[in-house]
Structure 1
Amino acid sequence: MLTEEEFAEFYTHSVRRLTGQLYVITGDLHEAEDAVHDAFVRAWNKRRHLDRGHAPEAWVRTVACRLAISRWRRLRRGQQAWAGRLDADSVPGPDPTTVDLTAALRRLPARQRLCAALYYVGDLPVEEIAAETGMATGTVKTHLSRARAALSRHINPADPTDLTDRSTGENRDA
């Protein structure tokens, strides 16, 4: 059971970290902030049932992810309903500095992107990611390894310093 003071301390120490993690997962800072704050409102209403020993941060992160997914689905349905009604020239393009990383992250399968976000942005250990996502530890490690390899290929497809032969996987310098 979290008291009001403990909940306030929990919020203060967790809100930025959770918002950053959701930002990497969703790609939209405002959506991440909204989802995290809504998840904290729900956590406040259940604070009597939350316990520090039962990972309240993981609970809030899970709720925030589910809220973001629900909102994304609702937005997608709305966009499909309005398809063809918007002038494509009226929408400004994305910032060029974020296009490569965003595109590379979107190419990753959802589980790889989730594991990479929780590990690199959330700074969670592999065991905690496994417990939170319901995956085996080895599966999380595999997703992280594949995510790193895929991001490397997508961001620097023709890196001249990369001496690995793509056809054999061996170092060409050896």
Structure 2
Amino acid sequence: MDADTGFDEFYRTTRQRVVTVLYALAGDLSEAQDAAQEAYVRAWQRWSRISGYDDPEAWVRMVGHRLLINRWRKIRGGVAAYRRHGPAPAVGPPSENTVLLVTALRRLPAEQRHAIVLYHLADLSVAEIAEQTGTPAGTVKARLARGRRALAALLDINLPEEVSNA
């Protein structure tokens, strides 16, 4: 398989997971898609090296996450562009469950949110999360447990009455 085909396959099999993780971390689908796109462009430019990594998807996810973290530096340019061009065309609204989950995730501490997103949305093990975040496995487990308890409480509070009574 040549390098371009390898990257194409990598992109097809990982893009949805990466965007989902970045969306959960950022709470904004548009920002997550932009960060994912830029991360994949950077991966493609370095594919001969990155394809040899044990987990190239983790590299893309980390680059995307760093892009999200640095996004505040670009806000002024975004505001100016919005004033020039107006809002993006309307797209269909997210589902009610998506809104509830993203709202609840936003209310969690960043460390707990990060652990939950990587574990449940990126399907990483506790050991993989510990390695990628430079955190002891016990700390990851504690963040997952605390985050799950907090998330459950937040979702119970925010669920419509007819759903919580079902």
Counterpart-to-counterpart distance in 1, 2:12 and 2:114: 24
Q: Which residue of 1 aligns with 2:54?
A: 54
After superposition, give the CA deviation of every residue in 1:52-97 in whole Å (9 maximum; x if it has no partner). 4431111100000011111145328977xxxxxxxxxxxxxx9893
- Structure whose residues are more often helix by fraction: 2
2:50 is matched by which residue type in structure 1? Answer: L
SS of 2:50's partner is: coil
Counterpart-to-counterpart distance in 2, 1:10 and 1:157: 39
- 1:17 is aligned to 2:11: no
Report deviation, 1:157.
4.5
Q: Number of aligned pairs?
A: 145
Q: Which has the higher contact order (CA 8 A, sep 6+)?
A: 2
Report deviation, 1:101.
3.1
Counterpart-to-counterpart distance in 2, 1:60 and 1:112: 21
Residues 150, 39 of structure 1: alpha-carbon distance in 2 compared, 3 angstrom cutoff: same
- Any stretches of 5+ residues in structure 1 without a counterpart? 80-93, 160-174
Q: How does 1:20-169 map to 2 (within 5 A)?
A: 20-75=20-75, 97=96, 100-157=100-157
TM-score for both structures, normalised by structure 2: 0.76
* Backbone CA RMSD of aligned residues: 2.7
Residues 156, 78 of structure 1: alpha-carbon distance in 2 compared, 3 angstrom cutoff: same
Counterpart-to-counterpart distance in 1, 2:76 and 2:107: 18
- Any stretches of 5+ residues in structure 2 without a counterpart? 80-92, 160-166
TM-score for both structures, normalised by structure 1: 0.72
